[in-house]
Amino acid sequence: MSAELSYDRLKNHSAKLQLANNLKLALAVEFATKDLKIKINDTVDSPSLTTDKVHLFDADAILRYAMDQFSGAFTSESFDSLSKLEPALYKEELTTHDKEHAVHALKNYLVSNLKDTDSATKLITFANVAALIPDEVAKTDLLKHLPAKITIAWETAKRLVPRDSAQFKN
């Protein structure tokens, strides 16, 4: 089955929302089941995956569909990720609570558990946490020991997110 995937380049999405979405989409490309042939469509700016059977716009659903992995969608980790981390991706500024939720998810779900994983729930949590608190993630060893597929997706996602103007050199 063939599918067309487009990354999140929406101007009304913040950099952290774009990073989380694009990481999930890049992970969908890396972890897709063998029967799903994904082609990138650069002409569309909004996150989406389209086959002849379905059109999806939510990055979590796209990753789960690509991996054909839905059983973890109703776990407490998934609930935390959706109801505590994802709303923060839409905010201009993170509150103390938002940061605490992200640090809690990093400590409880990721630090010792991301190696050798192909769990969609874990990958979604990772994308949300990495986008919300990149500095905290960098302090751990998480990024140094990522499986190759996740490293490739991480590099793709970072490349797709526009640079902060503060990073430009004069």
Partner 1 sequence: MSELVVQFQKLSIAREAPALNREQLALATQWDAVLKSGQVERNLDNINLCLRDNTFLVATRVPTVTDVKLFESVFPLTKQLVSSTKDVKDTYAKYRHIIRWVDFLQRLLPIEKTEQLSMNYDLELPREVI
Q: What residues line the site for partner 1 (CB under 8 A)?
A: 51, 53-54, 56-58, 60-62, 64-65, 68, 70, 73, 79, 82-83, 86-87, 90
CA–CA distance, 129 with 81 (Å, rounded to integer)? 9
Cβ proximity to partner 1, 65 vs 142, nearer residue: 65
Q: Per DSSP, which regions of 58-168 are E strands? A: none
Q: Shortest Cβ distance from residue 56 to partner 1 (Å)?
A: 6
Q: Which amino acid is at 25?
A: L
Q: Shortest Cβ distance from residue 115 to partner 1 (Å)?
A: 25
H or E stretch covering 31: helix 15-31
Radius of gyration over every alpha carbon of the chain, rounded to an integer in angstroms: 15
Judged by DSSP in three states, 53 sits in coil
Cβ proximity to partner 1, 44 vs 57, nearer residue: 57
Cβ proximity to partner 1, 67 vs 142, nearer residue: 67
Q: Shortest Cβ distance from residue 53 to partner 1 (Å)?
A: 5
Cβ proximity to partner 1, 42 vs 52, nearer residue: 52
Q: Shortest Cβ distance from residue 74 to partner 1 (Å)?
A: 8
CA–CA distance, 104 with 87 (Å, rounded to integer)? 16
CA–CA distance, 91 with 120 (Å, rounded to integer)? 24
